[in-house]
């Protein structure tokens, strides 16, 4: 079922409610119509803290923004989090230099001839954290080859941990995709479609 048809476990705030609470919490108006914040604004301190954590990694990060978006998209795909996939599909294309092909390739990055060694290193790290909770020594050594400096390497781990936690929250609370947003861009195919043999 498309996430924009789901009933969230915590009802979304109305436009008036979110505008009032968002103004008091200092959340930018452009975030207030996002369903994730229409849920989280019901705990303004949490919403503000999450916004600060996300912004610290999205803007001015030592970890390359394009690589980070590939990591986030992989988390969205592997954890079947439609909301995360949808939101970062557009963010990655508009703000961080990703192409549609970049993003589509994360569905099956191991077989990709488009993605390079750096992309595959951080995506391998992402998959390992999702499946085992840690990054193997071999994969970490590969990441060290392509991520320059301690800060960038730390922020790779921060990014995986942060957006995996966001995925868990979104799925557990059944936060729906916004009603005006297409499901699983660009082609509407979800991880279940691929598991069922639909193919790339």
pLDDT in tens, 118-143: 999 999 999 999 999 999 999 999 99
Residue 64 has pLDDT above 90, yes or no: yes
Contact between 65 and 97 under an 8 Å Cβ cutoff? The reply is: yes
Q: What is the reported pLDDT for 200? A: 44
Q: What is the reported pLDDT for 112? A: 98
Give residue limits of the domains in the chain.
9-59, 62-172
Find where tokens 């923004």 sit. Answer: 65
pTM: 0.92
What mean pLDDT comes out for the span 58-76?
96
196 — pLDDT class (breaks 50, 70, 90): low
The CATH architecture to which 62-172 belongs is Up-down Bundle (1.20)
Return the percentage of the chain with pLDDT > 90, whole number.
74
Residue 172 has pLDDT above 70, yes or no: yes
What mean pLDDT comes out for the span 99-112?
98
What mean pLDDT comes out for the span 28-41?
86
């Amino acid at each position: 079922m498309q996430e924009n048809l789901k009933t969230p476990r915590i009802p979304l705030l109305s436009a008036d409610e979110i505008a009032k609470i968002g103004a008091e919490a200092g959340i930018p108006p452009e975030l207030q119509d996002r369903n994730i914040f229409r849920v989280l604004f019901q705990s303004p301190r949490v919403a503000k803290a999450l916004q600060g954590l996300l912004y610290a990694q999205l803007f001015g990060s030592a970890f390359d923004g394009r690589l980070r978006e590939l990591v986030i998209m992989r988390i969205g795909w592997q954890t079947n989090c439609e909301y995360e996939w949808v939101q970062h599909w557009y963010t990655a294309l508009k703000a961080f230099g990703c192409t549609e092909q970049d993003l589509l390739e994360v569905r099956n990055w191991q077989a990709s001839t488009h993605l390079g060694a750096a992309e595959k290193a951080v995506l391998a790290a992402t998959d390992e954290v999702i499946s085992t909770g840690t990054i193997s020594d071999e994969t970490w050594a590969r990441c060290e080859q392509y991520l320059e400096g301690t800060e960038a390497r730390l922020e790779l781990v921060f990014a995986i941990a942060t957006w995996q936690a966001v995925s868990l929250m979104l799925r557990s609370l059944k936060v729906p995709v916004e009603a005006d947003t297409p499901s699983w861009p660009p082609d509407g195919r979800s991880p279940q479609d691929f598991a069922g043999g639909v193919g790339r």
